[in-house]
């Protein structure tokens, strides 16, 4: 049995790297729009046996239950890694074999992206990592068993996750997916979304905020291309 796990942070101080572009209220609206886009993709996916969110945010928990997903409620949130590892341990204790962590800020993700990752035939134990756009972060991660090695989300998490996998003697597959790679953290990510994301709730939210009028004031940042699929 596999589970799709979506961690959702309390949006009280959401997306601080976008503060030069968007107000706090706008950033909170953006976060919710991205969650709706991810939710749409997840609802259409066929491979997850169950969907679980881990959060302390009551609105997200209510939305998840309305979608017939489970909400694991945290008393407090210390870090993304702590949230994912706690939820993964809970699911492992229930007999779940595999957990895929999917962020809630991937507005371009589609059901086929989720199904493709969950269709990869992994050895037991095994892991799959889907990098962020710059190629150093980890956006999606699959672990079987779920608590195989600790999460290391944050700067250089792709390399850190591969190191953790190596410590337990696991073959770790890195799989590039352009839609999963685009999380929205910086103004340059917003520009890409506005170029490629028509038809998403996130695109509509940003257009409604008249972000086009502000982007010319924000310096564009360069990013490295993601790594190609490989095994380590």
CA dist., res. 182 & res. 192, Å (int): 8
Domains of the chain: 2-216 (3.90.550.10)
- Residue range 152-177: mean pLDDT, rounded: 96
**Residue recorded with tokens 């699911």:** 91
Ramachandran area for residue 95 (φ above 0: left; ψ -120 to 50: alpha; else beta)? left
Q: Where are the alpha helices (DSSP H) in the chain?
A: 24-44, 58-66, 80-93, 111-118, 157-167, 178-181, 187-196, 201-208, 212-215
Q: pLDDT tens for residues 12-54?
A: 889 999 999 999 999 999 999 999 999 999 999 999 999 999 9
Question: What pTM value is reported for the model?
Answer: 0.91
Torsions phi, psi for 85 (to 5 deg) = -70, -35
State the pLDDT at residue 225: 38
SS3 string, 194-208, reads HHHCCCCHHHHHHHH
Could you tell me if 14 and 28 are in contact, meaning their C-beta atoms sit under 8 angstroms apart? yes
Q: pLDDT tens for residues 119-144?
A: 999 989 999 999 999 999 999 999 99
Q: pLDDT tens for residues 177-224?
A: 999 999 999 999 999 999 999 999 999 999 999 998 888 766 555 444
Report CA Rg, the chain.
17
Pairing relationship of beta strands 2-8 and 50-55 according to DSSP bridges: parallel
């Amino acid at each position: 049995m596999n589970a799709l796990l979506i961690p959702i942070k309390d949006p009280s101080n959401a997306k601080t790297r976008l503060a030069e572009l968007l107000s706090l209220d706008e950033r909170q609206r953006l976060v919710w729009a991205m969650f709706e886009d991810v939710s749409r993709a997840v609802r259409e996916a066929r491979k997850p046996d169950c969907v679980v969110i881990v959060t302390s945010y009551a609105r997200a928990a209510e939305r998840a239950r309305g979608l017939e997903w489970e909400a694991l409620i945290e008393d407090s949130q210390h870090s993304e890694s702590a949230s994912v590892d706690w939820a993964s341990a809970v699911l492992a204790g229930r007999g779940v074999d595999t957990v895929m962590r999917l962020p809630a800020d991937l507005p371009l993700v589609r059901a086929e992206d989720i199904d493709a990752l969950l269709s990869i035939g992994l050895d037991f134990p095994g892991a799959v990592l889907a990098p962020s756009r710059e190629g150093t972060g980890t956006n999606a991660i699959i672990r079987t068993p779920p608590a195989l090695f600790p999460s290391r989300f944050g700067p250089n998490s792709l390399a850190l996750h591969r190191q953790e996998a190596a410590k337990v003697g696991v073959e770790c597959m890195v799989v590039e997916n352009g839609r999963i790679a685009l999380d929205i953290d910086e103004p340059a990510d917003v520009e890409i979304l506005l170029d490629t994301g028509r038809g998403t709730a996130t695109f509509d939210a940003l257009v409604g905020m008249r972000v086009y009028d502000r982007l010319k004031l924000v310096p564009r940042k360069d990013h490295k291309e993601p790594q190609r699929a490989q095994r380590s």
